[in-house]
Amino acid sequence: MQGRPGNFLVTDRLSLRTWEPGDEVLVRALHSDPDVNRYLSQENAPWSDRRVVRRLAQWAAEWEADGLTKFKLLRRADNVFIGRAGFSRLPESGEFELGYSIARQYWGNGYASEAAIALALRFFEVSDMNSFVAFAHAENVASQRVLEKAGMRFERAGPYHDMPFRFYRMDRPRSGGE
Protein backbone atom coordinates (compact mmCIF):
# COMPACT_ATOMS: atom_id res chain seq x y z
CA MET A 1 0.00 0.00 0.00
CA GLN A 2 1.39 3.38 -0.93
CA GLY A 3 0.55 6.55 0.92
CA ARG A 4 -0.63 9.80 -0.58
CA PRO A 5 0.51 13.21 0.66
CA GLY A 6 -1.77 15.50 2.65
CA ASN A 7 -4.41 14.69 5.23
CA PHE A 8 -4.51 11.08 6.35
CA LEU A 9 -7.24 11.55 8.90
CA VAL A 10 -9.41 14.39 10.16
CA THR A 11 -11.37 14.40 13.43
CA ASP A 12 -13.56 17.07 15.00
CA ARG A 13 -10.53 18.92 16.38
CA LEU A 14 -7.48 17.37 14.74
CA SER A 15 -5.85 16.84 11.39
CA LEU A 16 -3.23 14.13 10.93
CA ARG A 17 -1.02 14.99 7.98
CA THR A 18 2.11 13.72 6.32
CA TRP A 19 5.35 15.54 7.05
CA GLU A 20 6.66 18.25 4.73
CA PRO A 21 10.10 19.76 4.11
CA GLY A 22 10.92 22.13 6.95
CA ASP A 23 9.00 20.13 9.57
CA GLU A 24 12.29 19.23 11.23
CA VAL A 25 11.91 22.32 13.40
CA LEU A 26 8.55 21.05 14.69
CA VAL A 27 9.87 17.60 15.62
CA ARG A 28 12.99 19.11 17.19
CA ALA A 29 10.89 21.48 19.32
CA LEU A 30 8.53 18.68 20.40
CA HIS A 31 11.34 16.36 21.42
CA SER A 32 13.52 19.00 23.05
CA ASP A 33 11.13 19.02 26.02
CA PRO A 34 12.28 16.59 28.72
CA ASP A 35 8.67 16.14 29.89
CA VAL A 36 7.65 14.93 26.42
CA ASN A 37 10.62 12.55 26.27
CA ARG A 38 10.42 11.36 29.88
CA TYR A 39 8.88 7.96 29.08
CA LEU A 40 10.48 7.44 25.65
CA SER A 41 14.02 6.54 26.65
CA GLN A 42 16.26 6.17 29.66
CA GLU A 43 18.43 9.06 28.55
CA ASN A 44 15.48 11.48 28.40
CA ALA A 45 17.73 13.62 26.21
CA PRO A 46 16.53 16.09 23.59
CA TRP A 47 16.56 14.66 20.09
CA SER A 48 19.65 15.68 18.14
CA ASP A 49 19.34 17.19 14.66
CA ARG A 50 20.64 13.89 13.29
CA ARG A 51 17.97 11.90 15.13
CA VAL A 52 15.21 14.24 13.93
CA VAL A 53 16.31 13.88 10.30
CA ARG A 54 16.65 10.11 10.69
CA ARG A 55 13.17 9.76 12.24
CA LEU A 56 11.52 11.91 9.56
CA ALA A 57 13.22 9.79 6.88
CA GLN A 58 12.02 6.63 8.64
CA TRP A 59 8.45 7.96 8.83
CA ALA A 60 8.54 8.92 5.12
CA ALA A 61 9.77 5.41 4.22
CA GLU A 62 7.01 3.82 6.34
CA TRP A 63 4.41 5.99 4.64
CA GLU A 64 5.70 5.01 1.20
CA ALA A 65 5.85 1.30 2.04
CA ASP A 66 2.79 0.83 4.27
CA GLY A 67 0.55 3.87 3.91
CA LEU A 68 0.89 4.23 7.69
CA THR A 69 3.38 6.20 9.74
CA LYS A 70 3.71 8.67 12.57
CA PHE A 71 1.83 11.75 11.34
CA LYS A 72 2.08 15.44 12.07
CA LEU A 73 -0.78 16.30 14.45
CA LEU A 74 -2.41 19.69 13.94
CA ARG A 75 -5.22 21.41 15.80
CA ARG A 76 -7.82 22.14 13.12
CA ALA A 77 -9.12 25.39 14.63
CA ASP A 78 -5.86 27.23 13.98
CA ASN A 79 -3.59 24.71 12.19
CA VAL A 80 -1.17 24.73 15.14
CA PHE A 81 1.25 21.80 15.51
CA ILE A 82 0.53 19.94 18.74
CA GLY A 83 2.49 16.70 18.30
CA ARG A 84 2.71 13.48 16.35
CA ALA A 85 0.62 10.33 16.29
CA GLY A 86 0.30 7.23 14.18
CA PHE A 87 1.76 3.82 13.50
CA SER A 88 5.23 2.37 12.96
CA ARG A 89 6.31 -1.22 12.44
CA LEU A 90 8.17 -2.75 15.34
CA PRO A 91 11.43 -4.21 14.02
CA GLU A 92 11.28 -7.05 16.54
CA SER A 93 7.91 -8.44 15.43
CA GLY A 94 6.77 -6.65 12.28
CA GLU A 95 3.60 -5.63 14.11
CA PHE A 96 2.28 -2.09 13.85
CA GLU A 97 2.61 0.00 17.00
CA LEU A 98 0.34 2.93 17.80
CA GLY A 99 2.26 5.80 19.32
CA TYR A 100 1.92 9.51 20.00
CA SER A 101 3.75 12.42 21.55
CA ILE A 102 1.89 15.60 22.43
CA ALA A 103 3.56 18.94 23.21
CA ARG A 104 3.30 19.61 26.93
CA GLN A 105 1.25 22.81 26.58
CA TYR A 106 -1.54 20.74 24.94
CA TRP A 107 -1.71 17.98 27.56
CA GLY A 108 -5.02 17.53 29.33
CA ASN A 109 -7.21 18.51 26.37
CA GLY A 110 -8.06 15.00 25.19
CA TYR A 111 -6.03 15.32 21.99
CA ALA A 112 -4.10 12.08 22.50
CA SER A 113 -7.33 10.16 23.15
CA GLU A 114 -9.08 11.71 20.14
CA ALA A 115 -6.15 10.87 17.88
CA ALA A 116 -5.73 7.33 19.26
CA ILE A 117 -9.44 6.49 18.91
CA ALA A 118 -9.56 7.78 15.32
CA LEU A 119 -6.31 6.04 14.38
CA ALA A 120 -7.49 2.73 15.87
CA LEU A 121 -10.64 2.85 13.74
CA ARG A 122 -8.77 3.92 10.61
CA PHE A 123 -6.09 1.24 10.97
CA PHE A 124 -8.46 -1.57 10.06
CA GLU A 125 -9.82 0.39 7.10
CA VAL A 126 -6.41 0.83 5.48
CA SER A 127 -4.51 -2.26 6.66
CA ASP A 128 -5.04 -5.97 6.15
CA MET A 129 -3.34 -6.71 9.49
CA ASN A 130 -5.54 -8.34 12.14
CA SER A 131 -4.17 -6.40 15.10
CA PHE A 132 -1.83 -3.70 16.29
CA VAL A 133 -0.06 -3.06 19.57
CA ALA A 134 0.84 -0.14 21.80
CA PHE A 135 2.76 0.28 25.00
CA ALA A 136 3.02 2.86 27.73
CA HIS A 137 5.65 3.29 30.41
CA ALA A 138 4.50 1.71 33.67
CA GLU A 139 4.52 5.13 35.39
CA ASN A 140 2.70 6.92 32.55
CA VAL A 141 -0.85 6.41 33.79
CA ALA A 142 -2.23 9.13 31.47
CA SER A 143 -0.98 7.29 28.40
CA GLN A 144 -2.34 3.99 29.70
CA ARG A 145 -5.76 5.67 30.02
CA VAL A 146 -5.49 6.92 26.42
CA LEU A 147 -4.92 3.37 25.17
CA GLU A 148 -7.79 2.02 27.24
CA LYS A 149 -10.13 4.77 25.98
CA ALA A 150 -9.15 3.79 22.43
CA GLY A 151 -10.45 0.28 23.18
CA MET A 152 -7.12 -1.48 23.52
CA ARG A 153 -6.82 -4.38 25.93
CA PHE A 154 -3.99 -4.81 28.40
CA GLU A 155 -1.86 -7.87 27.65
CA ARG A 156 1.11 -7.81 29.98
CA ALA A 157 3.68 -5.78 31.85
CA GLY A 158 7.37 -6.16 31.16
CA PRO A 159 10.61 -4.52 30.08
CA TYR A 160 11.19 -2.85 26.71
CA HIS A 161 14.59 -1.28 26.04
CA ASP A 162 15.37 -1.82 29.73
CA MET A 163 12.39 0.24 30.90
CA PRO A 164 9.14 -0.99 32.54
CA PHE A 165 6.15 -0.90 30.17
CA ARG A 166 2.54 -2.03 29.95
CA PHE A 167 1.65 -3.64 26.62
CA TYR A 168 -1.73 -3.37 24.90
CA ARG A 169 -3.33 -4.89 21.79
CA MET A 170 -6.33 -4.23 19.59
CA ASP A 171 -7.70 -6.94 17.31
CA ARG A 172 -9.67 -6.40 14.14
CA PRO A 173 -13.37 -6.27 15.02
CA ARG A 174 -15.23 -9.38 13.98
CA SER A 175 -17.77 -8.99 11.23
CA GLY A 176 -21.40 -9.79 12.01
CA GLY A 177 -21.19 -13.29 10.44
CA GLU A 178 -18.36 -14.59 12.62
- Which residue range is the domain that position 19 belongs to? 7-171
Q: What is the pLDDT of residue 31?
A: 94
At 126-169, the pLDDT tens digits run: 999 999 999 999 999 999 999 999 999 999 999 998 999 999 99
- CATH number of the CATH domain containing 128: 3.40.630.30
Structural domains counted in the chain: 1
Q: Considering the entire predicted model, what is its pTM?
A: 0.90
Q: What is the pLDDT of residue 37?
A: 82
| Residue 152, in any domain of the structure | yes
At 44-67, the pLDDT tens digits run: 788 999 999 999 999 999 999 999
| Residue 2, in any domain of the structure | no
Helices (H), 22-71: 24-30, 34-37, 49-66
Give the least confident one: 24-28, 40-44, 116-120, 135-139: 40-44
Instruction: Provide the CB-side half-sphere exposure for 166 (13 A, CA).
Output: 16
**What is the distance between the alpha carbons of residues 45 and 65, in angstroms, rounded to a whole number?**
30
Provide the residue count of the chain. 178
| Residue 177, in any domain of the structure | no
| Residue 75, in any domain of the structure | yes
Q: What is the pLDDT of residue 177?
A: 52
| Residue 126, in any domain of the structure | yes
| Residue 39, in any domain of the structure | yes
| Residue 153, in any domain of the structure | yes
Q: What is the pLDDT of residue 13?
A: 97
| Residue 128, in any domain of the structure | yes
Q: What is the pLDDT of residue 2?
A: 37
